[in-house]
Amino acid sequence: MSEPNSPKGRPAAPMAGEDPDATAVLPGEAFRPDVAGLDAALAAAQAKAEENFAQYVRTLAEFDNYRKRAARDLENAHRFAVERFAQDLVPALDGFELALASAANTDVTRLLEGQAATHRLLLKAFEKAGITALDPTGQAFNPNEHEAMVAQPTAEHPPGTVLQTVQKGYLLNGRVLRPARVIVARAADA
């Protein structure tokens, strides 16, 4: 048998008569695995794995439900996006229908008053929806918001000035819904 390790952690030199390549055999009691402890650790690891898998399945189901709910909400948002605007337009339509129904029995002054009231309802609905009118008469031509119908020669206005708005344009929350159709000044013919 070999001697205990030397103080520096190196094995001691073999004694005379010992085989230097021989392996020492430990007695049977030297290695006794704690089978009960290993079984308990394995059971705990399996329980934790099952708990993690169950949590994964629940999270996957919650995510799937969220995805379906978000898709349904998006579809409803697209379908009913103009609902408020439509609710504001219904009274204006009622005013037009009332004017048409009573046109034969009403004088012109009352019809004009009804049209003015309906116009105010439409403007109010547009304002609530973020729609603003573009009437650029007298302003510089802006190709992003205006569509030039004609360039008219004039000496009274600088070139590029909008002389007349043929048809109003509209902005929806700052974005062009329809460009204003305009007549633009150009330099007078010499």
Question: In this predicted model, what pLDDT tens digit does every residue of 114-142 receive, in sequence order?
Answer: 889 989 999 999 998 899 999 999 999 99
Q: What is the pTM of this model?
A: 0.57
User: 58-67, 84-93, 177-186: which has the minimum mean pLDDT?
Assistant: 84-93
Measure the CA–CA gap between 76 and 81, rounded to whole angstroms.
8
In terms of C-beta density within 10 A (0-12 exposed, 13-18 middle, 19 or more buried), how is residue 146 classed?
buried
CATH number of 131-190: 2.30.22.10
Q: Which amino acid is at 156?
A: E
pLDDT bracket for residue 1 (50, 70, 90): very low
Average pLDDT, whole number, for the chain? 85
The answer, yes or no, to whether residue 62 has pLDDT greater than 70, is: yes
Q: What is the pLDDT of residue 30?
A: 64
Measure the CA–CA gap between 56 and 39, rounded to whole angstroms.
25
Mean pLDDT of the region 144-169: 94
In terms of C-beta density within 10 A (0-12 exposed, 13-18 middle, 19 or more buried), how is residue 185 classed?
buried
Beta strands in 13-160 (DSSP E): 131-134, 146-154
pLDDT (tens digit per residue) in 28-52: 666 677 788 889 999 999 999 999 9
Tokens at 37, concatenated? 């402890």
Q: Which amino acid is at 79?
A: R
